[in-house]
Structure 1
């Protein structure tokens, strides 16, 4: 899988790429929730940016050899 997917069982909708990321950001609290302003940008343009970031993220931020175990505080930010 080369993209993020978000499934909403209540509405039976599947979001992907920038739409999924923005819907997740909406629930993260300030300042991440401010990203919802990008919903006004057409999806095809948002996805161009999403693809560019996805392609270059390891170059910009590096890649970890292992995944961290989330702290209880961080775990509380996950949507179940």
Structure 2
């Protein structure tokens, strides 16, 4: 029987993996532009790619914003 507890546990694992993935990619903003396909290939625990295409698009958008935010902060501080 696949209980509610198991479902929560699986979700927890998925969330931590997602956060690790996002965090690792946020650190290396420039590498993201060149190596996005490699990041996706390393992200193996997700089976249903179609569902997550939109998710990766959002990450791409956020990371571009983060890149520009860093850029403007550097300009502002000088």
Pair in the same fold by TM > 0.5:
no
Relative contact order: is structure 1 or structure 2 higher (C-alpha 8 Å, sep ≥ 6)? 2
Normalising by structure 1, what TM-score?
Answer: 0.30
Structure in which a larger fraction of residues adopt helix: 2
In our comparison, the structure showing a higher alpha carbon Rg is 2
